[in-house]
Amino acid sequence: MPHIAIAGAGIAGLASAILLTRQGQQVTVFEQVADPTPVGAGLLLQPSGQMMLQNLGLLDLVRDKAAIVHSLEGYSGSWKTLDLHYSAVQQEWHGLGIHRAQLHSILWNCACESGVNIQLGNGIVDFAQDQQQVVVKHQHGESLADGLIIANGTRSQLRDRLAIKRIHKPYPWGAYWAVLDRDDWPFPHILMQRYRGAHIMLGILPTGINPSTNKTCYSLFWSLPKSSFADYQTAGMPGLIERIRAVWPEVAEWLASASSDTSIAIAEYADVRLATYHQQNVVVLGDAAHAMSPQLGQGANMALIDATILAQCLMPTSDFDKRDHLASAAVDNSYCPNIAQAFAQYSHRRSKHIAYYQMASRIMTPLYQSRYSLGWLRDVGTVVGRHLPAVYRQYMLTLCGAKQGTWDLRAEIADL
């Protein structure tokens, strides 16, 4: 039975651990922090990520804690520019807005119930591999593994030990975020955004149940350049409220009346690109492999897709069509896959999808977060595009996480 070590108990690491354990593999997750509950706000699970959660048997649990998001709307002043409806692609499709900590806790509980060995406060500090095995060096010593999955997030230094051509470029922009409770917000199923050019963006995402208060909550995102982080910190909450008031007064009032323990913090992003995702018996997943700006709302979805496809690649051929087994019991475990071949197959299968979303993210992000005068181009493009059914469908397929390339015009999530 192969032994797989995983660096990181985030979304990619936990989802991989659950699927591989169910396949009968011996899995150890090494997590550097003692309490891995992620800080942060809401994220939007697209139909692609939802399908991966269905494979894991967790979609219903997630839906119970999430908000159903039917559409995304964006306004430049009073002009409605962005107007994307999931049902335009498939009637029953929608997004799910969920708090990062809720998603993490559902995966965490499932991993524990599946018998995954998780070692908290025991991060991987280094590794060495030969043709057969990987020596994993962690905070408490060394272990031997047949394969190593690096899933330790954007700032991974383990990734940097692989001889793979890579780019790690921090974005010049980040965002202030806050999680705000409210029962009577008028847009419980819409991700609303307001823009001023490309340099101001305020978003309110329905986020389901707040894990700290058990109340219905929303995530506020306020885009800001890194160069103004210090100014914002000096101005504090009153300064932020005043800036928001000029764009959306109701949100400023809401923030002003929020309880004093409302967490508000700055998030930074980076663009990570790898020429390939594996080297022999080591593979890189999730943000460690392809972090991008949150503009397209794909990060958590991509991490779940990575985990699902990796598990399929590590499945013996005879079990490949038994994908439903991923959702429940363990499959026949009397095999030993060739890990290096499986990881190579993974890199091959993921390359197109990841490349498309990285390209789309690089094109889109400056239209929403930059000092260039690109706001008008974005607004005209989105308004014209939404009146052209073929273009609108491509926008939506991109948002849903289904596209495998620019010319993949008949994209289907099932083709992932």
Ligand X SMILES: Cc1cc2nc3c(=O)[nH]c(=O)nc-3n(C[C@H](O)[C@H](O)[C@H](O)COP(=O)(O)OP(=O)(O)OC[C@H]3O[C@@H](n4cnc5c(N)ncnc54)[C@H](O)[C@@H]3O)c2cc1C
Residues near ligand X (CB under 6 A) are 7-13, 30-33, 36, 38, 40-41, 43-44, 100, 123-124, 151-153, 158, 177, 267, 286-288, 294, 297-301, 303
Q: What minimum distance in Å lies between the beta carbon of 243 and ligand X?
A: 18
In the block, residue with structure tokens 């996480």: 401
Tell me how far, at minimum, the Cβ of 297 lies from ligand X, in Å. Answer: 4
CB of 103 to ligand X, least distance (A): 8
Which helix (H) or strand (E) segment holds residue 102: the answer is: helix 100-113
Residue type present at position 15: A
Q: Which two tokens stand for residue 353?
A: 């999808």
Q: Which is nearer to ligand X, 142 or 332 (CB)?
A: 142
8 Å CB contact between 12 and 365: no
What is the closest distance, in whole angstroms, from the C-beta atom of residue 191 to ligand X in the complex? 9
How far is residue 207's CA from residue 200's CA, in Å, rounded to a whole number?
A: 22
Q: Which is nearer to ligand X, 50 or 152 (CB)?
A: 152
Smallest CA-to-CA distance from 266 within 234, 307, 298 is with 234
Q: For ligand X, which is the closer residue by CB, 119 or 331? A: 119
Task: Decide the pairing of beta strands 141-145 and 71-76.
Answer: unpaired
Query: Is residue 365 within 8 Å of 171, Cβ to Cβ?
Result: yes
Sheet holding 282-284, edge to edge: 117-120, 26-31, 3-7, 147-150, 282-284, 278-279
Q: How far is the CB of 317 from ligand X (least distance, A)?
A: 28
Per-residue three-class SS string for 144-166: EECEEEECCCCCCCCHHHCCCCE
CB of 225 to ligand X, least distance (A): 16
- Residue 136 Cβ vs ligand X, minimum distance, rounded to whole Å: 10
Nearer to ligand X, 147 or 153 (CB): 153
177 near 40, Cβ under 8 Å? Answer: yes
**Amino acid identity, position 56:** L
The C-alpha atoms of residue 114 and residue 401 are separated, in whole angstroms, by 28
Nearest-approach distance from CB 326 to ligand X, in angstroms: 18
Q: Rounded to whole angstroms, how far apart are CA atoms 151 and 154?
A: 9
Cβ at position 31, least distance to ligand X in Å: 5
Residue 182 · residue 218 · CB < 8 Å: yes
Q: For residues 49 and 392, what is the distance between their CA atoms, to the nearest angstrom?
A: 21
Of 13 and 337, CB closest to ligand X = 13
Nearer to ligand X, 177 or 346 (CB): 177
Buried b (16+ CB within 10 A) or exposed e, 368-403: bbbeeebbeebbeebeebbeeeeebebbbbbbbbbb
- CA 224-230-234 angle, to 5 degrees, is 110
Q: In the bound complex, what is the minimum distance in angstroms from residue 228's beta carbon to ligand X? A: 17
CB-nearer residue toward ligand X: 167 or 384: 167
Any bridge partners for residue 83, and if so which? 73
* Cα separation, 5 vs 20, whole angstroms: 11
Q: Which residue is nearest to ligand X (CB)?
A: 10
The residue (of 267 and 377) whose beta carbon lies closer to ligand X is: 267
| CA angle at 134 for the pair 129 and 136, rounded to the nearest 5° | 115
**Helices and strands (H and E) in the chain: how many:** 11, 19
Min dist. Cβ of residue 369 to ligand X (A) = 13
The smaller minimum CB distance to ligand X, of residues 155 and 325, is found at 155
